[in-house]
Structure formats: structure tokens, C-alpha cells
Chains A and B, each alone.
Chain A
Amino acid sequence: MLLIHCPYCEDTLPELEFTYAGEAHIARPADPSAFSDEEWRDFLFIRTNARGPHYERWRHIGCGRFFNALRDTVSDRFLMTYKAGEARPTLTQEAAE
């Protein structure tokens, strides 16, 4: 069972307290009606499906907050977590190890 760091609670807690919430940094467009069918299809359904580091959203059930994480889909490990709304961090060498 993984241990996950909630950036709001500033505590590292067992996986049981968290749920996965899909890929991160896919913002809902301000005006969906301006999207073509293809653009809207991509927004709804097309995902990175990364092998390796993957930006994704999690929710801490304890505090109810959604946050973002960078997780390696091969090792299943969390490389870092950060608050919703913060810019996509670049993967540093230390974090990757």
C-alpha cells in the first residue's frame, strides 16, 4: 500500500485515504461551444496513457481536497504531489530517482 503526501494536510498518509481522479492539467475550456467536435472529443476522451512519469489528480478523502501528483506508472511510485492550480512542475533528476 502506497503512502501519499497530501499537500493541503502536509501529511503522508496511507493510500486508503485517497482516490484517483484522472489525468491532471486538462482544464475545462472557458467556452466549450467554441470547440470543434474533434477538439471536444480530445478533451473528453484522449489521455496521455504515459509509461513512466504521469501527471494526475488525486483526492484526499480526509480533507476533501483535490490535488495533483506526478506518479511513475511503471513503479507505481509518487514522485511528488502539489496543490491544484499550481503550474505543472518539471521533473527534476532527484524526483525521478
Chain B
Amino acid sequence: MSRYRIPGKGRVDHSAPVSFTFDGKTYGGLRGDTVASALLAHGVHLMGRSFKYHRPRGAVTAGSEEPNALIGTSRGAGQFEPNTRATVQELRAGLVTESQNKWPNLSFDVGAVNDRAYMLFSAGFYYKTFMWPKSFWDKVYEPVIRGAAGLGKSPTEPDPDRYASRYLHTDVLIVGAGPAGIAAALAAAQSGADVTLVDENPEMGGSLLSDPAVQIDGKPAWDWVDAQLARLRAAGVRLMTRTTAIGYYHQNMVGLCQRLTDHLDNPPKGAPRERMWRVRAGQVVLAQGALEKPLVFDGNDRPGVMLAGAAQTYLHKYGVKVGDNPAIVTSHDSAWYAAFDLADNGARVAAIIDTRDVVRPDLLDGARKRGIEALTSHTVTTTRGRLRVKSVRVAPVRGTHVGTGRSIPCDCLLMSGGWTPSLHLFSHTKGSLAWDTTSQTFLPDRKTEECEIAGAGRGLWGYESVLADGAAAGLRALQGLGRAGHDASFTVANDRPGTGVSHTELPTDGNAGKARAFIDFQNDVTAKDIRLAVREGMRSIEHVKRYTTNGMATDQGKMSNINGLMIAADALGKAPPQVGLTTFRPPYTPTSFGAFCGYLRGDTFQLTRKTPIDPWAEANGAVFEPVAQWRRAWYFPKPGEDMHAAVLRECKATRASLGIFDASTLGKIEVAGPDAVEFMNRMYTNPWTKLQPGRCRYGLLLGEDGFIRDDGVIGRLSSDLFHVTTTTGGAARVLTMMEDYLQTEWPELDVWLTSTTEQWATVALNGPNALKMLKPLVEGVDWEDFPHMSCAECTVAGLPARLFRLSFTGEIGFEVNVPARHGLTLWTALMEAGKPYDICPYGTETMHVLRAEKGYIIVGQDTDGTVTPADAGLEWAIGKAKKDFVGKRSLSRPDIVAKGRKQLVGLLTEDGSLLQEGAQIVLDPNQPKPMKMVGHVTSSYQSTMGHPIAMAVIEGGFDKMGETVFVPMPDGVRKARITSTVFYDPSNERLKA
């Protein structure tokens, strides 16, 4: 039996032992324990080291707001998780856990030297200490800070777990299943509405689980909870435990993260670990309760110092006494009940220290009856003890005067600085908050969503009022749906009403300048840091937050924000609402990436589009590359070939005889209708009116700003039908742009646009033997009248086809389009027919090299959204006689006709070496840094001509033909000569068969 476990007490199963390890040591716990409750049952308070100062820390809460007790948990390879809150992680057999931020071990930590050097690490230290010299950043500061700091270790292996996601539509979603939430659910369920009640804990009941002596309608609290949950279940209410509402989004969409298997000894194989729910609710009731605030005094972070409410929870839910000899320091009535409960369960309460002058007589009576020393108008000025609190120094306070103090021995110190309504989700909706001067806290004010806030979440205290408020909120939600219901009331015996006051730092009899009074335990921010930030000129709470990092840790300041605000407001001499509150953002608690990804990972991260010819490429050893969402054959290596060898062989085979290429991914749009030619004239730069059916033309598409957006060869199949091709990545964008103009600018045009990208499989044949090989397979083409840039509807290998004669390689070329279902048949037939010509399948890399040798651009590689037709040397593609087309007016904009624009040119290196794509270009390599960059390399390849070739955009490049420029690269500066972009067959002899 663990030393601090009370036999038979709590909601844990005393007949079900569960063992686990913490830092390599095996501990016994009980089914229903968290890691924190099980460790506390063994008297282990020291659970971690803090982030910045490596100070020893213990659990300070019993819930998801825990800032200190962060542990690493491990369930197997890839299943290590850092920063798990020990106060949330349920025990399961064989759980392996470890503490964080310590070296060499938890009780002796070298990094704690930071703690003595704390003056160095005060507010803004990130901005001040590491400013100079700059070169120290990557050599000294960065590695040292990275090594010493950090919240836990990141996992290094892929996460093997599955994560699920679902949608849910519900009439009423209630967040939080404490007394207010349960009462709201009872009210909402009465008219048959679809009601969903969620709670982040393994069990519903909220604070009632920590207050078993309360009686509702004559029943003990726990019996009442059981009975109500049974009623809700019977009424068809969806009850979801271990389910955290992480974010509240527009129009009543709430994200829920449901933890499914982390608590199980043997999770079912393949079961998802977590499930993300996207809930759309008619009405939302927020019944999230309130979070207890720490008091701010020197040494308030020592292991053994804990929130009073947490101690009460450990006692009643887990049957664990957090100490034998607790002292209590409080400014709120609630901690008195915690003291009484501990005393009634055998603890020797050292003292109740209350900062207030006047305390309710019944509380004073309660202390007297139990023989507890009650000190009103007193404060705690410091704590002592290295790895665990051993004593607390208390002193009387009169106004601002602190009297003579004395030391009181204790083995834990339970504190309460009052309670903060949990309004995180409400804040996600941009609901406004109003400062309540009586309770010294923010309360919900103006709502933006169909929601109700109930119970302690809106500042109420005491079970009777909270229950009534929950029921009223549930009823209002029901009425909001247009349904009717009736009021409910509850009678509560042994209620625990309470009030309190708020403080800044507690006054001290010690050296205030040396006080280590923590506000943000997770980010190690002290009261002094906040005051320093204000002294150094921070005025807004958002600046104070960033300067001190207060509230910026993984707990988002659940415990620290109000204390930070009170102190900042005090330092600024303003009222708290004038200083403001920082913004809460989703998620409410840290949420795994897996839960956000759901099914969208690995093979199902995004769809992979495959062409009809893809199976052949795969069977024939293609190496693939992703292009937009497609996977395309990149090159086809033969045994022993690397990429360079394979590509060179493919290039040479195509130039020498015949290459075959799967071009099915090309975007294809059919532009049809009586006004098709007019539409084409308006969209593309080129003139289309005189293009005869059966001919095709290179088309250039600009944005209205005059910059190149897309290009492709366009065939006119009949007077009212154009077969438009686009770049692979641009297909959807071009169709959207066309639709936009057609629908909104020129709705009078009688044109239909249809995406046909996936309807056609496209095979390109290129090489001097392309025509010879293809001819016998084609029926329905008049070869006497089928020159370069022709198109026809015909059959190829017996398949219905659209045949284009065009070239993206500089060789005689064809693109054969057949209905996609025939794509593989066509490919196989062409491979067979090409055998006498040593037909060579090639991939996208060879396609790139061959087009670059001819100076054909790739939109998006050689252009970047700031390149005009003139910049790219494509002015010939502009229909000069056309009055208007998209982008035409912009071609005479002052900036576009100005001198010195970057222009697309060729580059040849002097030493015959390969340039890096993206490398910057300078005119003088010896100029002082930073050098003036005049352009960059856009394309660069090894070529079939025995030397590499490159294209680049260079300021005034067309006027610099033959001049030398310099390309600084990591291994030295290259000298290069500016040339034409056409490196191969400039007179196009090879296109003419």
C-alpha cells in the first residue's frame, strides 16, 4: 500500500493495481489513477524541472491546466510523446514515463545553474542577452539554448498510430459535464432535441467528484451524478468523455478531440488513438467551470506547493493525501473546505493562513472545531526546502506593513488565489469580456454565436446557484431552437458557497528584489519580470506578454494570465480592463498533430493522380517525380545507369531516331460554341480569327496585369471548337480564369468550357523518324496537307484520336490524344510499331532538357509572375492588330515599358560547369557585399551538345548578348557568357520533314 493512499477512498479501483515506471523506477498505482495521483500516493512530488531555470517542480493542479508536471510517455517505437501532463495521463499497465528538462537526473540537475544566474534571464532576455556579436548565434547561443532549454524532447520516428475524424450535427452541444453542464443537458434533453454532452475527463461530474459531501435533492453528490447520467443516457443524450473541446469556430462549429486508447492496457489492434470531431451545433452551452489561481509569493513553485482545489481532488477522486502536514494559504473561502476535508481524513493541518481581515464565522468555527490554527490578515512570505517544501514563513499584514514573521513546518502548502472563469472557448468566438470589479475577474459579455455560458464559467459559486444556472442555460438553448421546456430547481444540502479577493504579489518581510514569486510556472515568469517589462516601456498587455513570455507556454497562461494582468495593471497604475487581456487561441489544450491530420497522411495525405500509362511506366522501372498532384515518369534508368546517364541516353535516342513520352497530364480545355473564336481572341494574346480548322498555334495567356500566366498549343478542330492545352500545373487555374471572364465579364458570349484533361490520354512522339513510324498507323489524315502545327480528328492504331503535329523538342513531333481508356493500348501499340526505330521512352527530365536546348520556356520555371511576353522574348505571340485581350492594356504600363527589365537569355559557363537553378547573377564579383544582383538562373541542364546550358533572367539581358556575367555559387564564382536561349537548331531545319 502506498504511504499516502487512504484505503478504500476515492473513485479509483482499490482491487485493481496497475504498475508503471517513472524515470526507470517501477511504481504501483490503481486503475483510475493519473500518473500524478499515483506518484503523489507514494509521496513523490518532484515530477520535473522547469523550462528556463531548471527549478524542481511538482504537480500544482489536478487537471489539464497543469503547467509543471510535464512528462514524456512512451508506448513503443514512434509512440513517445513529450509534454504530457501527468495530471491528465491515466495509468495503464506497463506505461513508461520520464521527467523532462533535467540532466543528469531529476534531483541533481546541472542546468539549474541557470537558476542562480536568474538575473541574466530576466524579462526580455531573449532580446537583450543574445544580441551581439551576431556570429555567436549559430555557434554559441543557439546550440547552448537549444541544449539547455526546450520543453521535452521531440519524437524522432514516424507516429505509427491511426487517427480518425468525423463530422457531427447536433441540436445542443454542452461543453463540460460538471453540475452546470449536467443540469443544462437535463433541461435541453427534455423536448427530444439531439443533445451532446462532452467532458475532457474520464468521468463526468466535474467538481462534484471532488465534493462528495454535497447533497442534491436528498442524494449524495456521487449518487446524484450517477442517476442524472443514467437519465441522460435514457433520453438519448450523446455522452462523450475524454473529449476536449479544443476550439470554437464560426457558426457554432466546435472541434472536439476524443482520446480513445491512451488509457487502455491493450488497445484493440488498428483502433484509432484519437478522433477529431467537427461538430456543427444549433446551440452551444459552455459550462467549463473555473480554474483556481495561484498566489504569488517567493518560492511558490517549490514541489509540495499546490492549489488547494487540486489537493481536494486528489483526496476525494484518488484517495490520496498530498501530505500529512499541510499548510494552507488563501484569499478565497474554497481553500478552507480543502483544509477541513484533509483534516477529516487524518492530515494534521499546520495552519490556515488567510490574507483577508474578515473571514466567514462558520469557516473560523470549522477550523476551531478541528483544532486548526487560523491566521487571518496573514501572508506567506517564502517557503523553504530543496526538492520539497519543508516549512513556510508566515507574517501578519496590516495594510502594506508586514509584521514579524515566523516559520511553520509543513510537508505541503496548499494555496488559493481565487478562481478564474474558464472563458477560452468563448474568447475563440470573439465574444467580448467585461471586467467585474466585485469578483476581480473577466466575465462573458457580448456574444457572437448562438451560445449560453453557465455556472462557474460566468463567475457563479456554490452548487445551488450553479445548478439553477445550468438548467436555465439549457432551457434557453432549447428555446433558441424554437422548442419548449420547463424550469428545473435543485435543493442542495452541505453546499459550499464562497467568495474571495484577488491580489498582486503578496507583501513580504524579505528582500522584494530577490523574491522568486512565479506567475507563469511553465515559462518561468516571475512577478518581477512583469514589473521590469513595464519599467522598460511595455504598456499593452500584449507587449508585456511577448517581452516576458508570460502566458506563452503550452498552457496558454490558464493559471497565469490574470495574475500577470493584475501585476501589470498595478505597475502601470491602471485598472485591469484598461490594460486588457491577451487573446486565447485554439486549441484549448495541446493537441496531437495526428488528431489534426486524421486520415490525411501518408498515401492519403492528398490524392495522387496517375495517367492511364502509369502502370506501364511502373512496370518498366520508371523513377517518378510529383508534378502538381500527378506522379510523372521522371526517367527510365537501365541497369547500372544513374539519372544523368539515363537522361543523356534518352535525349540522344530522341534526337537520333525516336522518343516516346507520356504527356497525358497536360491540361486540356475544350472551348466550344458560336463565340468560341471571339472568346479565344479576348483571352489569349494571339490572333485566332484567321487560324483555319485543322491548324494549331502556340497560345500565350496573360493576367490582366500583363504578366505571363500560362501557355500551350491550341488546335482549332472546327470553326466553333478549340482544343486548348495548358501547363500540367495550370489546368485548373486556367479554366477558373476562363470561367471567371465568361461568367462575369462577357456573359453575352455563347461559349461552353469543359475540362477534358482526364478524358484524353496524350502520347508525344518526337524524333527524325516520328513521321515515318506514325504514318502507317493513322487513318483519316491528308499527309499532303499536314505540316508542322496541324491537327486532325482521325484514328491512330485503330483508336479514335485527336492528332497534333507540334514539337516541344525541336524534332519532328506529334501528340496523339485518345480517349483515356485507350491510353495504355495506344502506348503499347506505338512501342511495338516503334521497335524498328529503337523507340525510346523518356521522362519529364529529358523533356525538360530537349525543350531547353530549343529555348522553349516552361511557365512557372522560366517565368515567375513578373515576366511579360517581351521579357521572355515572346512578343511574336501577340496579335498586334487586336484591339483588346486580357492583359493588353498593361503591356503599355510605365513600369513594363521601362528600361532595365529582367529579360530571358541563355547562359554558357566559361569552364563548362553546370550552374545551379536559382543562383543569383552579378556583373562584378569583386564588388563589396551585399552585391547588386541583376538576375538569376531559371533553368540549367547537362545537354546533348557536350556542355551544360542554362537560361536566366538578367536586367537588360537582350542588350548584353555576348557579355560576361558572374554567378556566385557555394563552391566558387562561375564566369558565364550571355547567349540566345536557342542552343540547338536555331533555324528549325529539323522540324521540316
Contact = CB atoms under 8 A, between A and B. Distances in A.
Main secondary structure of the interface of A (DSSP, over half): loop
B980 interface: no
Nearest to B704: A44
B448 interface: yes
A67 to B, nearest CB: 9
Nearest to A1: B253
Contacts of B531: none
A32 B251 contact: no
A49 interface: no
Contacts of B747: 84-85
A44 B249 contact: no
* A contact residues, range: 20 to 34
B743 interface: yes
Contacts of A33: 883-884, 888-889
B743 A66 contact: yes
A2 B250 contact: yes
Interface string A26-56: 0110011101010011001000000000000
B894 interface: yes
B540 interface: no
A76 B745 CA distance: 27
Interface string B955-966: 000000000000
- Count chain A CB atoms within 10 A of each CB in B250, B253, B448, B745 and give the residue with the most: B250
B430 interface: yes
Nearest to B746: A28
Interface in A2-36: 2-3, 21, 27-28, 31-33, 35
B226 interface: no
Nearest to B887: A32
Contacts of B744: 57, 66, 84-85
Nearest to A59: B736
Given A32-B889, A66-B743, A66-B744, A1 B249 contact: yes
Nearest to B742: A66
A84 B278 CA distance: 32
Contacts of B889: 32-33, 35, 40
Nearest to B740: A66
Contact of B743 (A35, A37, A84): A84
B751 to A, nearest CB: 14
B246 to A, nearest CB: 14
Contacts of A75: 430, 448
A32 B884 contact: yes
A32 B888 contact: yes
Given A44-B705, A59-B736, A2 B251 contact: yes
B19 interface: no
Given A1-B249, A32-B884, A40-B893, A21 B740 contact: yes
Contacts of B883: 31, 33
A62 interface: no
Nearest to A45: B705
A57 B744 CA distance: 10
- Count chain A CB atoms within 10 A of each CB in B278, B739, B889 and give the residue with the most: B889
B890 interface: yes
Nearest to A4: B251
A27 B890 contact: no
A73 B884 CA distance: 35
Contact of B704 (A28, A57, A64, A76): A28
A65 B743 contact: yes
Contact of A64 (B251, B278, B705, B739): B739
Contacts of B278: 1
5 contacts: A32-B884, A35-B889, A41-B893, A59-B740, A77-B250
Interface of B: 249-251, 253, 278, 430, 448, 704-705, 736, 739-741, 743-745, 747, 883-884, 888-890, 893-894
Q: Which 8 A-B pairs have the closest CB atoms?
A: A32-B889, A2-B250, A28-B745, A84-B744, A66-B743, A1-B253, A3-B251, A66-B744
